[in-house]
Every structure is written in C-alpha cells, then in structure tokens.
Structure 1
Amino acid sequence: MSYPMPQLEPSGAAPAVPMPSASPTLPQDDTPAQQAARAAQLAATQSVYTWTTDVPTLPGVPLATTVPKNDEPTIAWFVILIGVGLGIVRNALTVKLAGVDAGELGSELDSSRATYEAALTECDAIEASTAKVAAEHGVHTGGNIFEHIVGDVENAVAAAERDAHIALLKGYKERLEDLMKVEEATSLGSKTPRSVEAYRALFATLPVPGVSYMFQDDAEFARLRVQGPNCMLIAAAGDALPANFPLSGAQYAAVVNGDTLAAALADRRLFMLDYKPLEVLDPGTYGSLAKYAWQPMALFAVPPGGSSAVPVAIQCGQDPADWPIFTPSPTFDKLWGWEMAKFIVQVADGNYHELFAHLARTHLVIEAFAVATHRHLAEVHPVWALLVPHFEGTLFINEQAATSLIAADGPIDHIFAGSIASSQLAAVDARLAFDFYGKMPHADFAERGVGVDSALADYPYRDDALLVWDAIHEWARQYIDLYYAHDADVVADTELAAWAACLAGEAKIKGFGPVTTRARLVEICAMVIFTASAQHAAVNFPQKDIMAFSPAVTGAGWQAAPNGQRGHDKAGWLAMMPPMALALEQLNVLELLGSVHYRPLGDYRSNAFPYPLWFQDPRVTGAEGPLAWFKAALAGVEAEIVARNSERMQPYPYLQPSLIPTSINI
C-alpha cells in the first residue's frame, strides 16, 4: 500500500482535503516506504498546523497560529448561522424601532428610523441570496435531524464556485454581526421604567424564554444547579460546613422544615456552590458605570426523604465578617434581599460558566487536541480518523472568540463583571489548570460527591451525561480494539507516543502522560469525543433558553451588594440588572451561540464538499461494526432521555444525541 502525499493549496495555507484510509494502519506495521510516506505527510501537515502561545487575548494558552483552510466552516454551516443571525438582527432592529417610537434614541429620530428600516430591507436581500446559495448546494434545513442531515448534497459544485459562495456567506456573517451591535448603550430603554416585563419585551420577534416567568422561584433557582448552563460546580458539603460559612442550626431549621443541620450533615444531604475561583476578576467598568463581581457561597439541601435540592442560604462573599448569610423568607422586609442574593449567585454563575466551564474547559482544551492530532498522527492512523471529525470548526470558532468575543470592547468586556484583562486571565488559568483525567465524568462526579449513589438523586445533567458517556466509551473501545490487538501495540506506536508527549508538553494538558494500554487510550479518545460533543452541548445550548434573558443569568452586577437582608425593595433589585442596551447585546450573542445545531453526534462526514461519509474501513462501517453499534446506542440514549424528560418537572434536552453536535463549531 502507498500513501499519497498531501498537496499544498496554491496559497500554502492548507493541505488538500484529507480523508481516512480504507484500511488504517499503525506505523510499526508499515513497510519502510510506507513509514517514509507517513513521515513526509506529517512534515507537510506540521508546516500548516503550528503552535502559538502569544494570542494577545489568551496569553500562554497553546493555540493554532492560523486557521487552515480545511478547518473553515462549510456552506451548510454558514447557511444555518445566517438563518439564525437574521432572526436575531430582525428582532434587534424591531426593538430599536420601538426605541425610536419612544423617543429614546436621540434627536435624529427620522434618520434612525430610516437606518433601521433600510437594515431590515437588507436582511431580506441577505436571506434571499443565502437561500439561493443553499438551493444550489442542495442543503436541507428542515425535517428530522437524522433524516435530513445538513450538508447532504446531490450535485457536485466546482471548487471555484464553492469558494465564491463561501466568501459571499462570510461577508453576510460579518454584516449581520455588525447589525447585531448595540450602539445606543446610554439611551435604549431610558424612557421605559425598568421591569421584568421590559426585559421580556426585548424579545420582540423571538420567542420569550420560559425561564423569564420562573426565574424568581426558589425551585427554579435550585433547578439551575443541576440542569442549567453550569451544572459542573455543585459539590457535597461533606460532614461539616466550611469555617467561613457560619450558618447556625436555628437558621437551617427555619428553612428546611422537620430537619436539623446536624442530621443533614450526617446524611450527606447538603451541597454547596463556592465561587472563590472568581477572585481573579478585577471589577470592570462600562463607560462611566461601575460593574460588580462577587464570589458568593450558596448552600442547598435535599430534605429528608426527598430527591431534589432546595436553597437554604447564601453568603454574598467569602468573609462572613463582611457578608452576612441570607436565607429564604416570605416576609416582605427580607424578601427582596433574598432575591438580590440569588441574583448575585447568578452573576457569579454566569462568569464561572462562560469563562471556566465553557470557554476554557471545552473550546480551548479541544483546540489543543486538534492541533496535536494533526501534527503527530498521520492521516492513515486510526486514531486520527476517529478524532478529526470532532474538531470540525473548532479552530475557526475559537479564533472568532479570541478576536471578538473575549477581546477588548467585545461582548465579554461589555456584559461581564471583570475587567477584560482579568476575564482573559481567568479563562487562561482555568484552561491551564484543567485536569483531563479528573474531569472525566465518573471521576468528576465522585470527586464532587454527587455521584449516582449520593443524596442528590435529581441531577439530570449527571444522569444524561453518563448515558452518553457510556455510549461514547463503548464506541471508542470497539473502534480501538479493531486496530490494537494488545497493549504492546499501543506501546509500540511511535506516532501515538509523539502525540501524547505533545499533549503533555507543548499543548499543556495537565496530568497527561504516556499512553501504554488500550484501556487508557480508549478513555482518552472517549474524553476527547465527549468534551467536543456532549460536554460542549451541555454548556452551550442552555445559553439560548436561560442566559439570553439577563435577569435570570447575567455577567455583572450594576449596583453594590446589600450589606444586610432587610429593608430592600423591588426597585433596588432591578437596579442590580444590566442596562437595557447591554441586556439586548447579551440576548443577541447568546441567542446566536445557543441556536446553531450542525451535524449531530454519530453523523460522520467529511467537511469537504460534497461531504462524503467519513469512515472508509469496512470493519468500522459494516452492519456488525462499531459505527452501526454506536448509532443504535445513540438512538437508545435518545429514547431514554425523552422518556426521562416526560417524567421530569422541567425537561433537560441538551444531552439528547439528536441535539448534540459532533464538534465545537459554534
């Protein structure tokens, strides 16, 4: 067997589109000539995939120096993105036109109206042009996600035409991003009394999230800990509360009827959120407005005989001398203080979610594996074939995040509490501290004391994540066993050894080391696939349903925290929330990020037009092969989660396989 050398594009930007071999091999099993071909291919690829730790917004994080052409999105992806973006822009323009009618946008009302109406007309033109491109490429955008896979095409399109269409769609994407910007930060909403209803009204043409009607309920506040955007922080309190959280037995008993603090501790029914890691954030400003960042602590309990957690107490900072404990109370003089404390937790949760759980622990971790895989595993290597589809779009979307989302004067800078430099540092620290093996689901749940045998029986993220993990792990095991008959084959694999050394060294994956057994290789592959697909889905898609409505979760406080629970009112609570213009910006960004579903887990295709099926080895693709098993297993997981959701108080759809993209592409 011989291996064709990859050809560089005329620009030198990327090798010709790679596809897996029909019979992948390990380097030790090749002839000298085949080994030389592998080495030559890797040398060519290494000239394209290069490392840098000098991205200004994420200093010290190993990232790709550039985005190779093969890692740019497909036409199918752009069509989805533009469709979502058009809906967001039309909503924003409708809100701005309402602001014109309310006299909120300055003296040039007629000029503003004409500008926004012209933008709406431009949206119609973009929609028509995009639809024409989609039709020419046979892109399906409707129907069952498994039956009408986005990107399924019937006719080949010349490369030149494809490049022209990509350029056109990129231009539309950039134009829509420009139209999404909210310039009237000091005037939008200035004539409207601040209210929850006014925040709902920002969804002028988009569906109003259901959370906007529930977020003040204590049960909803507790629910978000186990099936919200950030389900990865809640941990068992152990056999004693932290010394800096001096909740008394009387305070506890007043909240949880028929229970005592001592009994709850003995039964391991207490769970905490501790946002101390956010101490790295320095409070920022927006124009002349101060922003507030907090590091609260929040206690939850599972009542005797219960399965779901209830909120018990919140301390809005780490030092009890400065921050008294607040507890739920129906009395009017304490009610709004409790609402303020919950809001402070939600602000902290928004920061922890976006900077730690989302950006650092999915996007940036997977980029390290993507670059290392391209640099050290040949295109005929079976592990290369297994992992590469799970990197589709990641380098591109990460570059977008680094150059706009988390850059100065970008959405993170505007919406979140920390100065942009400290927010960037928080993400950097979280990425470099990421414990790859410790964050594997079973290990992570055990470390936090929230496994399936814990008192926290109602934990949808955990239960659904383990279903998906088990399916992915078995897929990886069956696949790896096709190519590695013994552990000795793993040890003898020189490319795998170089890959592991790169991940432990240049890629800075904490705790990574030599791979010497099939079982360890399976775990690693399963963790990469899970993180790139299911874990990212769990932190990404709740952004639309929950975080797009800023009173429920936002990135900053806009008034100081109360120094006591009594004597506050609804107006004071509302004053802690973001200005309307920033609430609209938050809506725009998170509605976009949480709406793009592209290629579900288990649908393996090349990202090169016309998107042929990815795996070529009959041992993988056969009726009795591991891929057929995996697809059947995912269908079973889907049915199980749908059944669970029919019994849950609130459904948790984010880990249904049909709603999990294969890769981090948004």
Structure 2
Amino acid sequence: MPQQAPLSPSLPQNDTAAERQDRKEQLAESQAQYEWTDTVPAVDGVPVVKVLPKAEKPSVEWWLKLLGIVIEMAKNVIAVETSLVEQGLSSLDTALLDADRAVIAAIEKDIAGLEVKLAGDLIGHKGLAALAGDCLHMVEAEVVTADLQNHATKLKGILELRGATLAALGKERPRTLENYLDLFKTIPVPAIAYTFQDDLEFAHLRVGGPNSVLIEAVSAIPSGCAITAEQYAAVVAGDTLDAALEDGRLFQCDYAPLSIIEPGLWNGIAKYLTCPVALFAVPPGGDSLVPIAINCDPSNAASPVMTPAMDSAHEWGWEMAKLVVQVADGNYHELFAHLARTHLVIEAIAVATQRHLAQQHPLNALLVRHFEGTMFINEAAATSLITPGGPIDHIFAGTIQSSQKAAVEARLSFDFAKGMLPLDIEARGVGAGTPLAVYPYRDDALLIWGAIETWVREYIETYYAEDDDVVGDAEVQAWAAAIAGSGKLTGFSAPQTVQSLIDLCTMTIFTASAQHAAVNFPQKDIMEYAPAVTGALWQSVPDTQDGNTKPQWLSMMPPEALALEQLKTLYLLGSLYYRPLGTYRSPQFPYPQWFRDPKISGASGPLARFQSALEQAEEQIVARNAQRRRPYTYLQPSLIPSSTNI
C-alpha cells in the first residue's frame, strides 16, 4: 500500500512502553538506511546521506515531468545542429540527426502510452482494492522506473554536443547577440533577452531576479565603491549623496564572498571573475532602485568607479561593468543562495528527520513531504553538475575545486536562525517601511512565510499543548541536536518552547519550498540567456570607462558552445514543477492524500485553512503583478513546489 501519514500521530512521551519500543525499532531501521557522511568529494565537509535509500528515489510522476522537459531540450539541440549544417558551418552527418529524431519519437510514444495507462487507472471503473493493487504493482515495479531512467540516459546522449557542433560553435566564432538568440530554436527566447541592457532592468534584478537576497542598505559610502558627491549628483538629478545616505536611500550589492573562487580555464581559455561592489539608490520621491555606480574590482586600487553614461565614449564601459556584476551575481546565486543555502541546508534536516523522528511522530508527518526528491537531486548534482567536466566547471568562472569550496563554506557559514526571512530582511535594512518600496521578492516571500507559519502553528499546537511538551519530547530534542551536530547547521538550536519549534519548522518548510522556488525558477526565465547572466567573464575587466567598444563587451561573453550548455542546464533546472505547496500526497501511486488525522485533514481543519490561505495569496500576488511594472511570478503558490526536487 502507498505510504501515508499515521492516522493518529503521537509524541513519544505519550506512548505506552510497547509503542515506544516500536518507535525505537523503527528508528533503528531508519538509521541503518540514512547514514551521515561528510566526505562526498563535490561537497567535502558538508553532511549528506551516505547512500541514497530506495525510498528517496523519485516517483513515476516526477520522472514523466522530467522526461517531457528533456525531450524539449533535445529537440532544440537537434534544431540548432540542423541549422548549423544548413548554413554550411557544420560537417555533421544529417543521418545522425534523423536517428536522434527517431529515438525521441519512440520515447514520446512510450511515455504517452504510460500516461494513458496512469490516467485510466486513476479514473477507471475497477474496485478500489483492485485499483490499489494493480496500480501499485504496475507503476512502482522497478522495471517501469528503469525504463524511464533508460529513456533519460538516451536523451542525455542526444544532448551531448558532437565534435562537429562544438567546432561550429567554437571559440573562433564571433560573438554577436544575434548568434546567442539563434540558440533558441524550439525553446522560446526569454523576455530578458530584449531588456537586459536597460539600466532599470539591471537594478530590478537585485529585488526580483535570481539572487534577490543580497541587496542591503548602507549608511556610509562603501570603501569598495567610493562614489563622489559630484558623480552621484550627475546620475540622480535633483539629489545629493548626503541626502541619500541620511534618508536611507542608498543600497549596495557586495560580492566580496566570491574572493574564495580561483578563476580557471576552459579548453585552454582563461576565465575571469572579480568581486565587484554595485551601488543603487532610490531617487527622492521614487520607489524603485536605479543603478548609480560599479567598481569592477575593489581589490585593485586603480579600478575606477563607473557610473551610467549615455555618451558613446563611456557607454560600453558601463555595459561591461554591468556584465561584471551579472557574472558575480550568477556565481553568488548558484553556489551560495541556491546550492548551499537551499539544497544542502535542507538535506541535513531531511536526514536528521528520518533518523530521529519516528514515522508515528507528528513532525515527521508534517515535514517529510517537503523533503521529497531532495536527497536524490542533491546526489545527482554532486555526481554530475558540480564535478570536474560538468556544467558548473564549464560555465562558471572558478576551478571546480574552488567552486566546490565556495559552496561548502557558504553552507557551513549559514546561520539558520539569522536566515529566517523576517530577521534577514531586517538585518539588511530593506524592510517594507524603508525607502525601498518596490521589492517583490520581499513582499511576496513575507506573504508566503505568513501562510506557512500559520499552518505550522495550527498543526503543532494540535499536538503540543504547552512548552513542557516540547522539552519532554526526546525525539525532537535528538532531532535538533543531530541537525546542529552531525548536520553542522549553525543556528539550529534545540527548541525549548512551542514557539521556537514553530519557528524551526516554518523556516524549514519555507526554505524547502518558497525560498528554493525564488532562486531556482528564475534560472529558466533569466539565466538561460547567457548575455543577461552568465558564470564567467572571458576577457579581463576594464580598467577605464573611456573608449571601450561593443566588440570588447561581447568578447567578455562566453563561447556559443558554453552558452548552449548554459541554456540546456538552466532550462532543465528551471522548468520542473512537481507538487505545488499545500499539496500533500503519498509518493507512491495512486498518490492518495498524505494526512489522515481528521484533526488536521478535516474539512475545516488546519490543512484546509492553509490551502485556502495559499489560494488567497495567489490572488493577491496576481493582483500585485497586474500593477507591477515588472511582474514577479516566482512566489505564486501554484508555482512553488512543496520540496527541493530539481
């Protein structure tokens, strides 16, 4: 039968001796399956699960979604390769492309048949008992999953560019925006491709882009970007630098943490990365950021402070400076905000949950669906994405060893308590009452945080009547100790009150769902187009704003072969939506409802209220987007998966 939450979850201190013994035995079995290790080479020093348990492998539903996305990627690659042949740029044998098309058609036919079977079983006329038995056997049989994985392997082969294609897209091919656009054959060109050079778009990405968690208020001119009063006044008409500082209207993005990364090589070509400081301001009477200055390399005393300029002598120097920031932002996003502080943070909590909260425990029931797929996707990343010769090694600036080290240090230095959304926003000085009125990530994230916190509060207070219940819960105390100890998660303290337990669970669910959505899905809409955001510079940063040219700007962008690899990788990562927030179902077919305790799942219970709150949040965000100059969709509840599963 499909796994579901217990009908009557209980705290261990309330169980009989026999029930406590059952819990102990179940946890011993789970601990044998979920062992810790901190020696995985790609994330050496970060605690993860040692061997992926069978129960952590994805559902057939997830595999079908993934394959649909990979098929679209493969079609795009074939279309690019076909175009290169037709232009006489590639010597690729077209018979190979025909063979790839045949493989895709066969996989599509097989998937369509399986989807029909699944739909028929779900809505068919069999008796319920027969339905459960037949479907469970049909779908969860290892042969079905193996077939889907085999399809994925075949498609992966199609996605690997052949030598003739790499040569056609090689380093000698001139960089043009038209050629980058031409990589989107069957995949739609993202809107950012037509707006990324706009200064206001550049500023907006700090508050509504892939990395919206770095912008912070400053109360003094940063030493790393020492703009003068004259420079400021020339950029923000009718304002002064002193007034901006006094009013709290000056903000920065400081990429100093990237200093750990050592730039590497690709095919013998040097890659570049600096740690820029970018300054932004909210003009008097305004509500949105405008860019005012960039220092591309504060470590170099001769590096100039560049400012926006319309004249031809300074225009391309400013465009180059913005690209320097975008490359830094791409690295910070992928290694710090995304990999380290969502994926790797959640795995520590997920492993500890399986090891220390019995399946009978109400918190196990609350949390485990928010971990679905996380260990699997993290293992996949550690063995293919962030390894030598993988996409991170190719696309991003650092040697793979230094990129791995950056992610590890970002994870181990993350403070779980200080990272809680309301506290983080306050610490950065960018709350709703500050001059930074337009900050869609902040506003939508707080809305979702509030809905999750209310749900968690109502759920936890169903089982914990008072603070002593938390202190007396040996499983919860062991769970928190393991996360802080074996899991090496700073700021995860053993809860002593009901409120502190609510805070820990709210942050856990928010990070696994909404925070991951906020950093993951912009990868497709924004980061898949290399000129807008990419992982490395391919020429050194300018040492003057004067006299630079458009060809010099373009030369800082990646070779087309890597732009296509970036497109493929980020299209995949940013396309898979599996089980939206508020959806709690078994991971086994036919995916029955997860919660069975009527105190939780009743028609007017906490779960129904949570789902209603998410529907209201969806309506509110849709209404906000109708008024926003740039809609922000990444935290609409319908677009937030419940777990970090891609």
TM surpasses 0.5: yes
Q: 1:441-480, CA deviations, whole angstroms, 9 ceiling, x for partnerless residues?
A: 1000001000111111000000000000000000000000
**What code does the residue aligned with 1:204 have?**
K
* Alpha-carbon distance in 2 for matches of 1:568, 1:237: 30
1:376-525 alignment runs, 5 A limit:
376-525=356-505
* CA displacement at 1:180 relative to structure 2: 1.7
Say if 2:141 is the partner of 1:130: no
Residues 1:20 and 2:5 are matched in the alignment: yes
Match of 2:51 in 1: 66
Using a 3 Å threshold, how does the CA distance of structure 1 residues 365 and 153 change in structure 2: closer, same or farther? Answer: farther
CA separation in 2, counterparts of 1:203 and 1:139?
36
The residue that corresponds to 2:188 in the other structure is 207
| Deviates most, 508-517 or 597-606 | 508-517
- Alpha-carbon distance in structure 1 between the residues aligned to 2:405 and 2:491: 21
Give the gaps of 5 or more residues in structure 1: 1-15, 142-151
Distance verdict in 2 for CA 1:161–1:60, change over 3 Å: closer
**Quick one: structure 1 residues 22 and 271, their matched pair in 2 at CA, closer, same or farther if it must change by over 3 Å?**
same
- 2:217 equivalent to 1:236: yes
Report the equivalent of 1:578.
Answer: 558
Equivalent AA in structure 1 for residue 642 of structure 2: T
Deviates more, 1:280-289 or 1:313-322: 313-322
- 1:613-624 matches, cutoff 5 A: 613-624=593-604
Check whether the contact 1:138–1:153 (CA below 8 A) recurs between aligned residues. Answer: no
3-state SS, counterpart of residue 271 of structure 1: strand
Q: Which amino acid in structure 2 is aligned with residue 116 of structure 1?
A: L
Aligned to 2:615: 635
**CA shift at 1:181, angstroms?**
2.2
Shift of 1:155: 6.5
Name the one with the larger helix percent. 2
Alignment of 1:100-139 (within 5 A): 100-105=85-90, 109=91, 111-138=92-119
Instruction: Indicate the residue corresponding to 1:171 in structure 2.
Output: 150
CA distance in 1, matches of 2:172, 2:567: 20
Cα distance per residue 1:172-200 (max 9 Å; x no partner):
11222232223444431668642111111
Contact between 1:312 and 1:328, CA under 8 Å: does it hold in 2?
yes
Residues 96, 484 of structure 1: alpha-carbon distance in 2 compared, 3 angstrom cutoff: same
The residue that corresponds to 2:126 in the other structure is: none
Mapped partners of 1:550, 1:220: distance in 2 = 16
Distance in 1 of aligned mates of 2:136 and 2:189: 40
Q: 1:494 to 1:18 in 2, by over 3 A?
A: farther
613, 638, 641: which one pairs with 1:658? Answer: 638
| CA apart distance, 1:154 | 11
For residues 91 and 80 of structure 1, the distance between their equivalents in structure 2, rounded to whole angstroms, comes to 17
Which letter maps to 1:168? D
Structure 1 counterpart of 2:352, one-letter code = A
CA contact (8 A) 2:121 2:135 kept: no
Q: Provide the identity percentage.
A: 53
Q: 2:11 matched to 1:31?
A: no
Match of 1:313 in 2: 293
Superposition deviation, residue 118 in structure 1? 1.2
1:389-435 CA deviation, whole Å, 9 max, x = no partner? 00000000000000000000000000000000000000000000111
Per-residue CA distance 1:476-502 (angstroms, 9 max, x = gap) = 000000000000000000000100110
Q: State the SS of the aligned residue for 2:252.
A: strand
1:625-646 alpha-carbon deviations (Å, 9 max, x no partner): 1001000000000000000000
CA contact (8 A) 2:138 2:144 kept: no
1:224/1:179 Cα in 2 relative to 1: closer, same or farther (>3 Å)? same
Q: Per-residue deviation at 1:29? A: 0.3
Structure 1 residues 139 and 233: alpha-carbon distance in aligned structure 2, compared to 1, 3 A threshold? farther
Instruction: Provide the rounded CA distance (Å) in 2 between the counterparts of 1:161 and 1:354.
Output: 34
Does structure 1 retain, via aligned residues, the 8 Å contact 2:264–2:397?
yes
Q: Deviations over 1:588-622 (max 9, x none)?
A: 00001100001000010010122111001000001
Aligned match of 1:9: none
Residue 94 (structure 1) aligned to one of 67, 72, 79: 79
Aligned equivalents of 2:395 and 2:173: distance in 1?
20
Counterpart CA distance in 1 for 2:228 and 2:587 is 58
Question: Structure 1 residue 331 and structure 2 residue 316: aligned?
Answer: no
Instruction: Tell me the alpha carbon deviations over residues 25-68 of structure 1, each in whole angstroms, 9 at most, x when there is no partner.
Output: 00000010000000000000100011000101110000001111
Q: How far did 1:157 drift? A: 3.8
Shift of 1:242: 1.8
State the partner residue of 2:125: none
Tell me if structure 2 keeps the 8 A contact 1:138–1:154.
Answer: no
Q: Which amino acid aligns with 1:629?
A: R
Q: Partners in 1 of 2:106 and 2:574 — Cα distance?
A: 25
In structure 1, how many angstroms separate the alpha carbons of the residues matched to 2:375 and 2:509?
Answer: 16
Distance change (3 Å), C-alpha of 1:340 and 1:154: farther
SS of match in other structure, 1:311: strand
**Paired AA for residue 595 in structure 1:** S
> Does structure 2 conserve the Cα–Cα contact (< 8 Å) formed by 1:185 and 1:579?
no
Partner of residue 60, structure 2: 75
Give the stretch that moved more between structures: 192-201 or 578-587. 192-201
Confirm or deny that 1:268 pairs with 2:253: no
Residue 159 of structure 1 and its aligned partner are, at CA, apart by 5.4
8 A contact 1:600–1:662 mirrored in 2:
yes
For 1:237, the aligned partner's letter is V
Deviations, residues 530-577 of structure 1 (Å, cap 9, x unaligned): 000000000000000000000000000001111100111111100100
- CA deviation vs aligned residue, 1:499-543 (integer Å, no higher than 9, x gap): 011011000011222211000000111111000000000000000
Q: 1:226 aligns with which of 207, 212, 216?
A: 207
Q: Distance in 1 between matches of 2:120 and 2:175?
A: 43
Partner SS, residue 583 of structure 1? helix
Report deviation, 1:315: 0.2
Q: State whether residues 104 and 191 of structure 1, in contact with CA within 8 Å, keep that contact through their aligned partners in structure 2.
A: no
- Separation (CA, whole Å) in 2 of partners of 1:339 and 1:114: 43
Name the CA distance, whole Å, in 1 between partners of 2:93 and 2:168: 13
Equivalent residue for 2:534? 554
Q: What's the TM-score once normalised by structure 2's chain length? A: 0.96
Q: Secondary structure at the match of 1:25?
A: coil
Whether the 8 Å contact between 1:133 and 1:165 is mirrored in structure 2 is: no
Deviates more, 1:71-80 or 1:410-419: 71-80
Residue matched to 2:284 = 304
Q: How far apart are 1:103 and its partner, in Å?
A: 3.1
Q: Is the 8 A contact 1:99 1:189 kept in 2?
A: no
Q: Following the alignment from structure 1 to structure 2, what is the Cα–Cα distance between the partners of residues 157 and 515?
A: 39
- Residue 212 of structure 2 aligns to which amino acid in structure 1? C
Q: Would you say 1:604 and 2:589 are equivalent positions?
A: no
Task: Map residues 187-202 of structure 1 onto 2, 5 A cutoff.
Answer: 187-188=168-169, 193-202=174-183
Cα distance, 1:154–1:480 mapped onto 2, change above 3 Å: same
Residue type at the aligned position of 1:354: E
Letter in 2 for 1:29: N
State the Cα deviation string for residues 183-232 of structure 1 (Å, max 9, x = none).
Answer: 44443166864211111110011111000000000010001110000000
* 1:353 counterpart (333, 344, 350): 333
Mapped to 1, the partners of 2:41 and 2:223 lie a distance apart of 39
Q: Secondary structure at the match of 2:141?
A: helix
Secondary structure at 1:273 match in 2: strand
8 Å Cα contact 2:225-2:294 kept in structure 1: no
